[in-house]
Chain A
Amino acid sequence: MYAIIAGAGKVGRNLARELISKDHEVTLIESSRDCYLANEEEFEHAVQYGDATELWVLERAGIQRADLVIAVTGDDEDNILVCQVAKEKYLCDRIIARVNNPRNHDHFRLLGIQPAVSATDLILRLIEHEVPRYGLVHLLALEEERLEIIELEVSSDAPTVGERISDIALPEGSLIISVLRGRSGFVPKPDTVIEAGDEVLLVLDPGLEEAITAYFSPNGTPAAF
């Protein structure tokens, strides 16, 4: 696979190392002269000096034959531009953009720049996972595919405690895929009985979180978001 990475900062540099170690061909593009020189020693011909939002710089890096373009500069507009041009002008199949300011996430989505990865969001999700505040954790969201995987803690007053999986009428578009009990997890069978303190993993269509939460929170009231 041939990957072009715009931005040779911490993220870009480490991505390049990973990809190279997996025998992929990589070109890093860096617009700051100092940063370029600092990387040249390690990456040699695999790092190029230039502004990756300039079309000729992308062409010099061989964007026409790139399988993957990754934009991880510190500037969201630049990342959008690089990915938009890669996708729409050079018809590159796969793009990945970094979102520096989570508030800009909507702009990436609006302009069709997906996937867009925000480090802040990822860290927040990890924190949610470690410290569940509302008993609901988003584990994975596949926006293009319109699917989510969430984790919910079953409270002792939940209406589903003591119920068999087959008797719980969950809304259409949701499915319990795993139950974590004690320190281990298992795939539930129809006759598995839900216990207080279980953590259930569900796959669902986006927008069902609130409805689903009601099944596993006290007295069936939806959790506050």
Chain B
Amino acid sequence: MFVLIVGAGRVGSAVAKSALASGHQVSVLDEDPLSHERLDAGQSKSWEDSGGQFTVGTALETDALIQAGIERADAFIASTAGDNTNLVIAQIAQKRFGVDKAIVRVMDPARADWYREQGLQTISPTKHAIDMFEQAIEPEAA
């Protein structure tokens, strides 16, 4: 599977590394060239030597998305720091480039819920944190 990940922060870079280790083709797009270091950290070989692809560019630049390989992506992961950026680029991936599997990190649970109803696969870390806190306070209720 060809996976395109936009946003190589803690989440994006970790997902990129594990996807590559599982044998997928992985391309990462981030506006900050330094974020490449996160992909190399803790690895014996550099990201490119391991077979990964890295492109510097902003998520809303169509040219950067194309350069990063969006046209042949089977899965698209939006994990930049901005909820709204993630929601917009995931829709671009779906509607303009026909990527079937668009997975979006959305911090705000309310927006995550509504956009899930609209057909995006949203993941809300905030919602998970809330659930886990609730379980930690009252373990028997879980």
List residues of B whose CB falls within 8 A of some A CB.
Answer: 60-62, 82-85, 87-88, 91-92, 95-96, 108, 110-111, 114, 118
Contact = CB atoms under 8 A, between A and B. Distances in A.
13 contacts: A53-B83, A54-B108, A55-B111, A56-B110, A77-B84, A77-B85, A77-B88, A88-B118, A89-B114, A101-B60, A104-B60, A106-B62, A107-B92
A106 B91 CA distance: 13
Describe B's contact surface by its main secondary structure.
Answer: helix
A78 interface: yes
Contacts of A56: 110
B91 A111 contact: yes
A18 to B, nearest CB: 27
B110 A85 contact: no
Interface of A: 53-56, 75-78, 80-81, 85, 88-89, 101, 103-104, 106-107, 110-111
A215 B113 CA distance: 55
A143 to B, nearest CB: 17
B60 A77 contact: yes
A13 B61 CA distance: 29
B88 A81 contact: yes
B84 A53 contact: yes
A101 B58 CA distance: 13
Nearest to B82: A77
